[in-house]
Chains A and B, each alone.
Chain A
């Protein structure tokens, strides 16, 4: 039987998924601003890249308006897998908290 690693959701990835699910597709800088200091500009794209590799997110380049110069930014969307992992992970944490408190 092929070994399949259990999906994990570190706190920063969970925060990103929560923001994308509640706010809709966002750019990296918008995620940093919304996180109120929890995400840093220097590391957010590493985290986003890792999440894309895991299949939790997809991204696409923004379409630059005609005449605009510079590199296009990336906008990020949660995938169905990402949303499912977030839902299951949140339920597990709630359940764990309940079990520990009672």
Chain B
């Protein structure tokens, strides 16, 4: 078995390779390499395992901070097409992931563990919704062509919505978000939910007792 040489034990070798793959030469030489050089120098100067581990942690954190921030801070400096392609993806959809990660990172000091719980809960809910829709495909309500509407306008009450479990999830999620964000309005929301449920029961009963008559669009809005 061969012993590792000083070059192979050099800290940050992998970071150098990653940097060369992600950034172009001017950015590497002016911004990324000095950060890796600091890591290498600190690790070499560190005395003891604890100090060395601390130097590694700080150096790696600095490097990955640079990588995450690069699309936002180096736009005018040619961050490298490799990096942009990786971060944004061929259709730009990966940019959403970068945005979400940045948002979580930025909001962590304010909300702390709540953000982690909300992220995990939201991911699980998304997976559950996806599984539900795979097994029970949505019935999309038929919409009216715009020309048949009395006037072209943006009116949420005119948007046809299929009444299924997806709509229920959306409504419950929205109400919970408002309740968590603005607890002062909890009694107003409780009253609105009760009134809304009673109205829904009334509309349902009226439409059941008059199945042949077309419902007045005005009375249901």
Contact = CB atoms under 8 A, between A and B. Distances in A.
Most buried by B among A53, A71, A72: A71
B130 interface: no
Interface string B22-37: 0000010011111111
A45 B62 CA distance: 10
Residue among A27, A49, A59, A69 having the largest count of chain B Cβ atoms under 10 Å? A49
A5 interface: no
Most buried by A among B44, B59, B62: B62
A19 interface: no
A27 to B, nearest CB: 8
A100 interface: no
Contact of A70 (B27, B41, B64, B65): B41
Interface residues of B, number: 31
Interface in A18-72: 27-29, 40-43, 45-46, 48-49, 52-53, 59, 69-72
Contacts of B153: none
Interface in B19-67: 27, 30-38, 40-42, 44, 58-59, 61-66
A43 B59 CA distance: 12
A27 B37 CA distance: 11
Contacts of B175: none
Nearest to A72: B37
B77 interface: yes
A77 interface: no
A71 B62 contact: no
Contact of B40 (A27, A42, A48, A70): A70
A52 B62 CA distance: 20
Given A49-B31, A52-B30, A73-B34, A41 B40 contact: no
24 contacts: A28-B35, A29-B42, A40-B65, A41-B38, A41-B58, A42-B63, A43-B66, A45-B31, A45-B66, A46-B31, A46-B69, A48-B34, A49-B30, A49-B31, A49-B77, A53-B77, A70-B12, A70-B44, A71-B16, A71-B40, A74-B30, A74-B33, A74-B34, A74-B37
